[in-house]
């Protein structure tokens, strides 16, 4: 208690202390190295335990055998059939199918008989000159034999030119054995202006439309005298080369189902249709030309007959004139005798020409008829070609396109491809008759027999398995096309015993052909079977005390399993891998 600046202390009351200033408490000192002792001790104990367990014999460890057995993968064997198989690989193929080939077109590649020029052979030169007028010299007669073989007589005033029968006969003969292809009509000498000359109109291959039937200006058209038919080429030959052009215009899609008679492919028919129309016109022309040739030759035959009759008349007249020789001068008498001899020679010549003339007529008609037949044959071929360029399905089935070599690889046929006659380009297959076209390695083929069962698996459908049987086996190994192969394969055909709608041609497959079968055996995996130095098989059998080695007798083995005849019972467990050695192996 403070009074007037003094401090008085009451009894029993502690004196008042002045306020203290806060101060930092001193930091206690750390004891270094004491906590490491608690960590080192457990580590030492654990290391010692591990070393003890590792160095301790396995038989002394309680439960060590059961732990080792549990670490090895095992397989529980069972009794069931086991099969030995041979692997075959290949593709699906239809047993019942129809292959469509590119049509082989027929016809004359040169285009003979297609236009008017090539049909000129049926035209007949029928220029006929018949001179039948004769005269007899009244007072003095001058007779001579012309260079052309015509007997002409001249007299004084009032005499008329005489063209004898030999001239007419020669003209008829030459006309009957000539053809327009020579370019000019045969003439029986100079026709002159003798009265009685009868000339039939000259017939040639040219018509009012020109020699080609295209008009007089046809030479200026594209393609020259062949006209505008030279499509895609420089001349008439271009058109004819295009007649047999085989380019695919339409093609049925692969995989579609078609009925018998449906159109599945069509080739470009433009050029063949033009060829067909041309030959139809050529047949009409050839028929007309044949009829005309027959009429012309009939005229020639009649002209030749008249020439013979005229020559006979001239001969009779010459004989009658000779009777007046006694009253004429010696010179005129000789002339009349010479005229008689000439008339007789001309008559004999015409008579001798009768048989060759008939032969020439028959030959001309035969040639014309052959030209007509040729044109008709080409017409029939063109009609058949037009039909061939449309391919129809011969059976019901599915369309499969064949492969062609294009751009350095084999690809399916498609629209626009140019093919050649006789090559297969489509197949119509029956999906209900599928087979497997496969190959087997040459080392396994001796085990394969016809009728053996097989299981077919499809790469496109991994879950699909179908039963099959061996249908056929090849007699020789399959040859390689491009290079020699030292691993040979033998072709084998398998027939499916069960169908699936997903199975279509050209699916890659694998087939396991059963070559041996054990109906009842204890089956173990192949990796569970081991062999000793002598090649004897054995397995490691699982027992409560550990692994036990057990000798076995193998009845049948394949690539993945073995069938054990003796040494194992169903339900026992065998090791899939060799267990670790723990002392001497039990015998």
What string of H, E and C letters represents the secondary structure of 412-464? ECCCCCECCCCCEEEEEECHHHEEEEEEEECCCHHHCCCCCEEEEEECCCCCC
Both tokens of residue 253?
């899609």
Partnered with residue 409 across adjacent β-strands are 406
Quick one: 190 and 138 in the same domain?
Answer: yes
Nearest Cα neighbor of 396 from 506, 264, 250, 500 is: 264
Quick one: 358 and 464 in the same domain?
Answer: no
Q: How confident is the model at residue 15 (pLDDT cuts 50, 70, 90)?
A: low
Nearest Cα neighbor of 212 from 202, 203, 223 is: 223
Partnered with residue 7 across adjacent β-strands are 2
Q: What does the mean pLDDT of the chain come to?
A: 74
Number of compact structural domains in the chain? 2
Quick one: 350 and 440 in the same domain?
Answer: no
3-state secondary structure of 562: strand
Residue 156 lies in a domain: yes
Please write the tens of the pLDDT for every residue from 354-375.
888 888 888 888 888 888 888 8
Q: How confident is the model at residue 552 (pLDDT cuts 50, 70, 90)?
A: very high
Q: What is the pLDDT of residue 301?
A: 84
Range 293-298 contact pairs with CB under 8 angstroms and sequence separation of 24 or more:
293/122, 293/123, 293/124, 293/364, 293/365, 293/368, 294/365, 294/368, 296/124, 296/126, 296/200, 296/203, 297/124, 297/126, 297/176, 297/361, 297/364, 297/365
Q: What is the pLDDT of residue 425?
A: 93
Residue 219 lies in a domain: no
Quick one: 365 and 462 in the same domain?
Answer: no
Q: Which of 85-89, 155-159, 208-212, 313-317 has the lowest mean pLDDT?
A: 155-159
Quick one: 282 and 373 in the same domain?
Answer: yes
Q: How confident is the model at residue 5 (pLDDT cuts 50, 70, 90)?
A: very low
Please write the tens of the pLDDT for every residue from 470-510.
999 998 888 766 666 677 899 999 999 999 989 988 899 99
Q: What is the pLDDT of residue 410?
A: 86
Please write the tens of the pLDDT for every residue from 177-234.
443 333 333 333 333 333 333 333 334 333 434 444 444 444 444 344 444 343 333 3
Quick one: 130 and 83 in the same domain?
Answer: no
Cα distance between the two ends of the chain: 110
Both tokens of residue 79?
């009794």
3-state secondary structure of 557: strand
Q: What is the pLDDT of residue 575?
A: 92
Please write the tens of the pLDDT for every residue from 418-455.
898 899 999 999 988 889 999 999 999 999 999 999 99
Give the separation between CA 464 and CA 454, rounded to whole angstroms.
14
Partnered with residue 75 across adjacent β-strands are 574
> Do 339 and 345 form a contact (C-beta atoms < 8 A)?
no
Residue where a domain stops, chosen among 388, 420, 455: 388
Centre a 10 Å sphere on the Cβ of residue 363 and count the other Cβ atoms it contains. 12
CATH number at residue 88: 2.40.30.170
Phi-psi region of 446 (alpha: psi -120 to 50; beta: other; left: phi over 0): alpha
Please write the tens of the pLDDT for every residue from 332-347.
888 888 988 898 898 8
Q: Which residue has the tokens 């420089």?
A: 234
Residue 401 lies in a domain: no
Quick one: 371 and 438 in the same domain?
Answer: no
Give the separation between CA 237 and CA 245, rounded to whole angstroms.
13
Please write the tens of the pLDDT for every residue from 245-284.
899 999 999 889 999 999 999 999 999 999 899 889 888 9
> Do 81 and 453 form a contact (C-beta atoms < 8 A)?
no
Q: What is the pLDDT of residue 490?
A: 93
3-state secondary structure of 237: helix
Share of the chain above pLDDT 70, in %: 66
Nearest Cα neighbor of 273 from 243, 239, 245 is: 243
Residue where a domain stops, chosen among 324, 357, 388: 388
pLDDT exceeds cutoff 90 at 153: no
Quick one: 531 and 463 in the same domain?
Answer: yes
Measured in whole angstroms, the distance separating CA 570 from the mean position of its chain's CA atoms is: 60
Quick one: 453 and 344 in the same domain?
Answer: no
Residue 543 lies in a domain: yes
Helix (H) or strand (E) holding 392: strand 390-392
Torsion of CA 473, 476, 477, 479, to 10 degrees: -120
| H runs (alpha helix) in 185-269 | 236-243
Residue where a domain stops, chosen among 356, 388, 420: 388
Residue 241 lies in a domain: no
> Do 516 and 84 form a contact (C-beta atoms < 8 A)?
yes
Residue 102 lies in a domain: no
Give the separation between CA 435 and CA 437, rounded to whole angstroms.
7
Tell me the residue range of the domain where 340 lies: 120-206+268-388
pLDDT exceeds cutoff 90 at 390: yes
Measured in whole angstroms, the distance separating CA 106 from the mean position of its chain's CA atoms is: 17
Both tokens of residue 525?
């995996």
Quick one: 143 and 287 in the same domain?
Answer: yes
Quick one: 342 and 435 in the same domain?
Answer: no
| pTM score | 0.51
Residue 488 lies in a domain: yes
What's the angle, vertex CA 274, arms to CA 270 and CA 276, rounded to 5?
115
Centre a 10 Å sphere on the Cβ of residue 138 and count the other Cβ atoms it contains. 11
Residue 424 lies in a domain: no
Torsion of CA 331, 335, 341, 345, to 10 degrees: 150
Quick one: 88 and 159 in the same domain?
Answer: no
Strand bridging mode 573-575 / 553-557 = unpaired
């Amino acid at each position: 208690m403070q009074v007037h600046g003094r401090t008085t202390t009451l009894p029993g009351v502690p004196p008042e202390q002045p306020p203290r200033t806060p101060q930092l408490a001193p930091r206690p000192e750390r004891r270094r190295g004491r906590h490491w002792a608690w960590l080192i001790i457990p580590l030492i104990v654990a290391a010692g335990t591990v070393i003890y367990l590792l160095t301790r014999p396995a038989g002394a460890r309680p439960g060590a055998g059961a732990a080792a057995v549990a670490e090895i993968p095992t397989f529980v064997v069972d009794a069931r059939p086991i099969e030995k198989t041979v692997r075959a690989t290949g593709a699906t193929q239809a047993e019942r199918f129809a292959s469509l080939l590119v049509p082989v077109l027929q016809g004359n590649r040169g285009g003979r008989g297609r236009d008017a020029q090539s049909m000129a052979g049926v035209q007949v030169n029928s220029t006929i000159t018949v001179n039948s007028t004769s005269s007899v010299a009244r007072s003095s007669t001058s007779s001579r034999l012309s260079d052309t073989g015509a007997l002409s007589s001249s007299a004084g005033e009032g005499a008329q030119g005489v063209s004898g029968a030999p001239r007419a006969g020669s003209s008829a003969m030459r006309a009957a054995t000539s053809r327009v292809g020579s370019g000019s009509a045969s003439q029986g000498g100079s026709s002159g202006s003798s009265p009685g000359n009868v000339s039939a109109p000259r017939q040639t291959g040219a018509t009012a439309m020109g020699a080609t039937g295209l008009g007089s200006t046809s030479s200026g058209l594209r393609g020259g005298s062949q006209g505008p038919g030279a499509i895609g080429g420089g001349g008439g030959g271009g058109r004819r080369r295009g007649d047999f052009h085989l380019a695919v215009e339409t093609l049925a899609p692969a995989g579609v189902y078609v009925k018998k008679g449906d159109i599945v492919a069509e080739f470009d028919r433009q050029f063949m249709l033009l060829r067909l129309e041309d030959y139809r016109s050529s047949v009409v022309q050839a028929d007309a030309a044949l009829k005309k040739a027959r009429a012309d030759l009939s005229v020639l035959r009649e002209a030749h007959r008249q020439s013979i009759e005229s020559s006979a008349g001239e001969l009779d007249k010459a004989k009658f004139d000779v009777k007046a020789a006694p009253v004429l001068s010696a010179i005129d008498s000789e002339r009349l005798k010479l005229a008689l001899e000439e008339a007789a020679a001309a008559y004999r010549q015409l008579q001798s020409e009768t048989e060759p003339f008939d032969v020439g007529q028959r030959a001309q008609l035969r040639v014309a008829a052959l030209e007509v037949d040729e044109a008709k044959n080409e017409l029939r071929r063109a009609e058949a070609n037009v039909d061939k360029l449309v391919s129809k399905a011969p059976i019901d089935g599915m369309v499969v396109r064949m492969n062609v070599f294009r751009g350095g690889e084999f690809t399916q046929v498609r629209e626009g491809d140019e093919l050649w006659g006789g090559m297969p380009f489509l197949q119509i297959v029956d999906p209900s008759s599928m087979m497997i076209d496969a190959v087997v390695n040459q080392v396994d083929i001796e085990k394969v027999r016809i009728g053996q069962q097989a299981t077919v698996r499809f790469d496109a459908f991994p879950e699909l398995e179908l039963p099959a049987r061996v249908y056929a086996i090849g007699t020789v190994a399959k040859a390689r096309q491009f290079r020699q192969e030292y691993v040979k394969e033998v072709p084998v055909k398998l027939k499916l015993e069960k169908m699936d709608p997903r199975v279509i041609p050209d699916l890659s497959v694998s087939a396991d052909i059963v070559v041996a079968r054990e109906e009842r055996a204890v089956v173990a995996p192949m990796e569970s079977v081991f062999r000793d130095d002598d090649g004897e098989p054995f397995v490691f059998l699982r027992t409560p005390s550990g692994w036990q080695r057990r000798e076995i007798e193998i009845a049948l083995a394949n690539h993945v399993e073995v069938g054990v005849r003796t040494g194992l019972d169903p339900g026992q467990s065998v090791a899939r891998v060799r267990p670790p050695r723990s002392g001497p192996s039990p015998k």
